[in-house]
Amino acid sequence: MADAVIDAVLARIDADIDESVERLFALLRIASISTDPDHARACAEAANWCADTLNGLGFVAGTRPTPGHPMVVGHRTDATAAGPHVLFYGHYDVQPVDPLELWHTDPFAPRLAEDEAGRKVIVARGAADDKGQLLTFVEACRAWIAVHGRLPVPVTILFEGEEESGSPSLVPFLEANAKELSHDVALICDTGMWDRETPAINSSLRGLVGEEIVITAASKDLHSGLFGGAARNPNHVLAKILADLHDENGHVRVPGFYDGVAETPAAIRAQWDSLGMTAETFLGGIGLKYPAGEGGRSVLEQVWARPTAEVNGMIGGYTGPGFKTVIPSRASAKVSFRLVGGQDPETIRAAFREFVAARVPGDCSVAFHAHGGSPGLSVDIDSPHMARSLKALSDEWPKPAVVIGSGGSIPIVGYFKDILGMDSLLIGFGHADDQIHSPNEKYDLASFHKGIRSWARVLAELAE
């Protein structure tokens, strides 16, 4: 695409940034807390605001009812638009504001402030998660339409109103509207940058399996003086099982656990190494310095590309104040597995249960309680959509864009893949210090401004 075409769009974004901020402030003033029934009317107001904004830009848009809060869907397919048809996803709902007393000002009275480094920031609930992020894309579309009267690629937009409350209506909505929403690639703006000068695209997300184990021995709690040494102690049984989960090198010992786990491509490992993140730097902020994962792998590979087993909680016997010499009747633990692409959650669950059952003594019983499961996901890093988006981001920011992973899970990416048959590009402009879900949430003004410019460039590159 000719430089003059995109340069005119970028100039319009720069000239209109104050108006863009005011539009963001208007959305931030709406207290769309999806988890609180008292805010249902505000959620509907936010949905209507989004739909009205899209209609004002020439989209065919509207709100769609669900058993919970409305979805917003909009389409704009210009006759001269080329390239892939993109689906952009964001969410207009926000987290509760508690504890309110820790906010410096009203969470729904957005304001410009300066952080400790003198950078301008937008402070309000939802500034970074996700109203500021989703509006970067909308404002990029606004500039394209204002300058050229069209978008460079066909665009469908989906805004959800229940992301912060578990998305109970999302899967049924996607299934019922798959034909309308399934296109060439999904764009999701709910993530962050590597640092303030380096944009990033997430290429992998870890999945999750949650399991609760309950070991039962005697029919009741026992006096440790009368029965100690003779009666089986479920705490001992459980502790040994959990200790057996890893070997001395940090590998998970559940049989078949690594089946289907691919090695990280050398080029990606080299890029991650070039980011300069050491174990000391990564762990230093939490008072640690020695990585506990698989030996021989960088800390970024451990958290972005390798599966894990973690004990999240253990309960057994007396845990109240003082001391009580008891052998408990039962002990329990909650264990989670973070999965990577190629691992099937239910296969891992079954293998873990078999691993535990094989270690339970004959006079004990074990019960299992499942707590959800989702597969890990990876994006084709060699896709043309990825390459063009990386170029667009690199053209905008001081440092070239990088491909990173995420240790957590973002279910919407899996839903888009399984239900709509689409890969996703996770491009966001948040920072680790944005305090999302916490008091005094903020979004850097540079993230908002350059985020708009970034999406304008991405749309131009995709049109190629």
Q: Which pLDDT belongs to residue 303?
A: 94
Model confidence over 184-228: pLDDT tens digits? Answer: 999 999 999 999 999 999 988 899 999 999 999 999 999 999 999
What is the distance between the alpha carbons of residues 122 and 443, in angstroms, rounded to a whole number?
5
Is the Cβ–Cβ distance between 93 and 162 less than 8 Å?
yes
Q: Which pLDDT belongs to residue 342?
A: 86
Non-local (6+) Cβ contacts of 99 within 8 A are: 439
Q: What is the pTM of this model?
A: 0.87
What's the CATH number for 207-261+307-374?
3.30.70.360
Q: Which pLDDT belongs to residue 157?
A: 98
Q: Which two tokens stand for residue 254?
A: 């559940």
Of 202-206, 376-380, 401-405, 448-452, give the range with the top mean pLDDT.
448-452
Closest CA to 259 of 183, 340, 178: 340
Where residue 410 falls among pLDDT bands split at 50, 70, 90? confident
Tell the CATH superfamily of the 3-205+376-463 domain. Zn peptidases (3.40.630.10)
Mean pLDDT of 252-258: 98
Q: Which pLDDT belongs to residue 408?
A: 81
Q: Which two tokens stand for residue 318?
A: 């007396």
DSSP state of 164: G
What is the distance between the alpha carbons of residues 412 and 403, in angstroms, rounded to a whole number?
19
What is the distance between the alpha carbons of residues 429 and 357, in angstroms, rounded to a whole number?
46
Is the pLDDT confidence value at 443 over 80?
A: yes
Strand-strand pairing, 111-114 and 365-374:
unpaired
Q: Outline where 194-257 has alpha helix (H).
A: 224-227, 234-243
Mean pLDDT of 52-62: 98
The residues that bridge with 335 in the sheet, in sequence order, are: 211, 311
Using a pLDDT cut of 90, give the percent of the chain over it. 89
Is the pLDDT confidence value at 2 over 80?
A: no
Model confidence over 171-196: pLDDT tens digits? Answer: 999 999 999 999 999 999 999 999 99
Is the pLDDT confidence value at 71 over 90?
A: yes
DSSP state of 56: H
Contacts by 49-55, CB closer than 8 A, 24 or more apart: 49/92, 50/92, 50/159, 53/23, 53/138, 54/138, 54/157
Is the Cβ–Cβ distance between 366 and 234 less than 8 Å?
no
Dihedral sign, Cα of residue 45, residue 51, residue 55, residue 61: negative
What is the distance between the alpha carbons of residues 366 and 356, in angstroms, rounded to a whole number?
8
Q: Where in the chain are the domains?
A: 3-205+376-463, 207-261+307-374
Model confidence over 299-356: pLDDT tens digits? Answer: 999 999 999 999 999 999 999 999 999 999 999 999 999 999 889 999 999 999 999 9
Where residue 1 falls among pLDDT bands split at 50, 70, 90? low
Three-state secondary structure string covering 262-323 = CCCCHHHHHHHHHCCCCHHHHHHCCCCCCCCCCCCCCHHHHHHCCCEEEEEEEEECCCCCCC
Model confidence over 133-180: pLDDT tens digits? Answer: 999 999 999 999 999 999 999 999 999 999 999 899 999 999 999 999
Whole-Å CA distances, 280 to 262, 297, 403, 408, 431: 27, 14, 22, 21, 20
